[in-house]
Structure 1
Amino acid sequence: MVKNEARDRGEVPGHSVFGAPCWVSLTARDVEAAENFYRAVFGWEWRPNSHDDRFRVALADGVPVAGIAAVASMWQMAVTWTPYFAVASADDVVARSRERGGTTAVGPIAFPPGRAAVLADRDGAVFGVWEGRLVASVEQWREAAPTFIRLHTRDAFDAAIFYGEVLDWASPSSCCEVQYEADEVVLRNRGTVVARIHSGAVEAAPDPAIRPHWQVHFAVTDLDACIRAATAHGGEVLLREEGAQEALLGDPDGARFTVTSKREP
């Protein structure tokens, strides 16, 4: 249970964000190299974390939008982008995940002004949870660096059950709406699509070749310029179909992310 006095001090997000994606963080080996690459690609500026020099926060127009944690070697973790979901209690989420076959890689551990844990679902896809005051409001975060996430997995329906139970999507305190559309499970927060769970056509059998993972998508105003900057600074284009308005990129350390052309209103 989250204590009322903690909420009164602003240390935890309100019910309107519980269960929703609230942050993305890059697990890296070299902070400076990662800073230089993503500054070139997205124009982000960086500020150090006052509690630990292995961590950095990316700023877009002064708004915190992402983090870098140079702990891949120390924690024996892959170099990767990880989405974080806002929760009322990291301990409760970790317990629910374990009960349903998930595993815990890190935490919960204290990261002032909150607590975090890194988990894997029962198919191995890695995600994080955050308990505490948000670095930036969800609205600011989405406006400054439009982001959504997609889980590529073997069975979207089974994954939706796992995340729905672990992140409490069906509870009155959740801000999320879950719908099944075509071949995806779609998660909305205040009408905005914030996550998708995809496993292919509904009538198709689960594909054992898929390595389940969360893919982070960043919307950009100039897709081609973003791709040029990435390749010029040591990254690579891993997938871009002809005429497609998105591309899968890899940074110099091997972390994958997707850039999507921002659709103007």
Structure 2
Amino acid sequence: MLSESAVGAPCWVSLTARDLTTAQRFYGAVMDWRFRPAKLGEQFSVATAEGDPVAGVGAVATSLQIAAAWTPYFAVLSADETAGRVRERGGTVAVGPIPFPNGRAALLSDRDGAVFGVWEGEILTSWRSASHAAPAWLRLRTRDAFDAAIFYGEVLDWACGRPECCEVRYQEEEVVLFSGGRPAARLSSGAVEASPDPAVRPHWQVHFTVKDVEACVRAAAENGGHVIEQDLSGRPPTATLRDPDGAQFRVIAREAGPPPA
């Protein structure tokens, strides 16, 4: 059974990488993560921070020509029902739902092509935002935030009125998702559907909370990554980074927590 305010909330993030060893070396240096084997095989691992699982990392064959990227997962009561809702509303079911040892998952995309996943099963304690801040929060860069909020609301049971579901509020021309009283995701308009730049096309952007943004920036540059942009004097400090395989992510100072309400 999902915990209070968990239905429709972010519950995991996963990286698709080209080479597992390279990815582990990079994120170990930049994020100070440790890695342990996953039950999915030798090309998959679980990243941990201070002993808590924070993300999945998996390598795919280069022949598949799948772009390296971070993908968020949302908690649902039924992966099969959610996949059906996505199809009915013009989205795409790319993979699954498929069974795992402790649940079921599916990889999907919304009407504008932003990729996301859903998870039916127990949520890891480190991701239960009803009890404390999750290790990451999300921002959807999309064509129309209001239209996207309708899609995700219908698919993920946002603002359904039940106590276990997330709340949605409209603030400063953005849609803000609240889980357990904490902001867990933001939906922002402005992405261009047909842009050749992946950073401009509709996509979910993963933000990790870290102790020292400046240290992450240095480590990324020293370990084969790229610094896309940085604001070290901001309140809070932030930076957008790209790993050696091209997957982009953002880091934000931990004391700031999730995006302010």
Q: Normalization by structure 2: what TM-score? A: 0.88
Give the direction of change, closer, same or farther, for the CA distance of 1:174–1:97 in structure 2 (3 Å limit): farther
Instruction: Report the equivalent of 2:213.
Output: 223
In the TM superposition, what is the alpha-carbon distance from 1:18 to its structure 2 partner?
A: 1.2
Partner of 1:226, secondary structure, is helix
Match of 1:102 among 91, 100, 103: 91
Give the direction of change, closer, same or farther, for the CA distance of 1:62–1:142 in structure 2 (3 Å limit): farther
Residues 61 and 144 in structure 1, CA contact (< 8 A), matched pair in contact too = no
Instruction: Report the equivalent of 2:57.
Output: 68
Residues 119 and 127 in structure 1, CA contact (< 8 A), matched pair in contact too = yes
Instruction: Report the equivalent of 1:16.
Output: 5
Partner of 1:37, secondary structure, is helix
Match of 2:17 among 22, 28, 33: 28
Equivalent runs, 1:171-186 vs 2, <5 Å: 171=160, 172=162, 174-186=164-176
Give the Cα–Cα distance (whole angstroms) in 2 for the partners of residues 30 and 141 of structure 1.
Answer: 34
For 1:84, give the aligned amino acid. Answer: Y
Match of 2:115 among 105, 108, 126: 126
Out of 172-181 and 244-253, give the one that drifted further.
Answer: 172-181
Equivalent runs, 1:181-200 vs 2, <5 Å: 181-200=171-190
Residue 48 of structure 2 is aligned to residue 59 of structure 1: yes
Residue 238 of structure 2 is aligned to residue 249 of structure 1: no
For 2:174, give the aligned amino acid. Answer: E
In the TM superposition, what is the alpha-carbon distance from 1:152 to its structure 2 partner?
A: 0.3
Q: Normalization by structure 1: what TM-score? A: 0.86
Match of 2:224 among 234, 237, 240: 234
For 2:245, give the aligned amino acid. Answer: D
Give the Cα–Cα distance (whole angstroms) in 2 for the partners of residues 117 and 111 of structure 1.
Answer: 11
In the TM superposition, what is the alpha-carbon distance from 1:247 to its structure 2 partner?
A: 1.1
In the TM superposition, what is the alpha-carbon distance from 1:51 to its structure 2 partner?
A: 4.0
Q: Number of residues paired by the alignment? A: 249
Percent identity (aligned)? 57
Deviations along 1:34-57, whole A, 9 cap, x unmatched? 111111011111100134222110
Residues 16 and 175 in structure 1, CA contact (< 8 A), matched pair in contact too = yes
Give the direction of change, closer, same or farther, for the CA distance of 1:116–1:94 in structure 2 (3 Å limit): same
Instruction: Report the equivalent of 1:111.
Output: 100
Residue 121 of structure 2 is aligned to residue 138 of structure 1: no
Give the Cα–Cα distance (whole angstroms) in 2 for the partners of residues 145 and 214 of structure 1.
Answer: 16
Unaligned runs of 5+ in 2: none
Partner of 2:128, secondary structure, is helix
Give the Cα–Cα distance (whole angstroms) in 1 for the partners of residues 98 and 109 of structure 2.
Answer: 16
Deviations along 1:47-99, whole A, 9 cap, x unmatched? 00134222110111111111112136476532100110001111111000010
Give the direction of change, closer, same or farther, for the CA distance of 1:22–1:225 in structure 2 (3 Å limit): same
Match of 1:260 among 248, 252, 258: 252
Instruction: Report the equivalent of 1:8.
Output: none
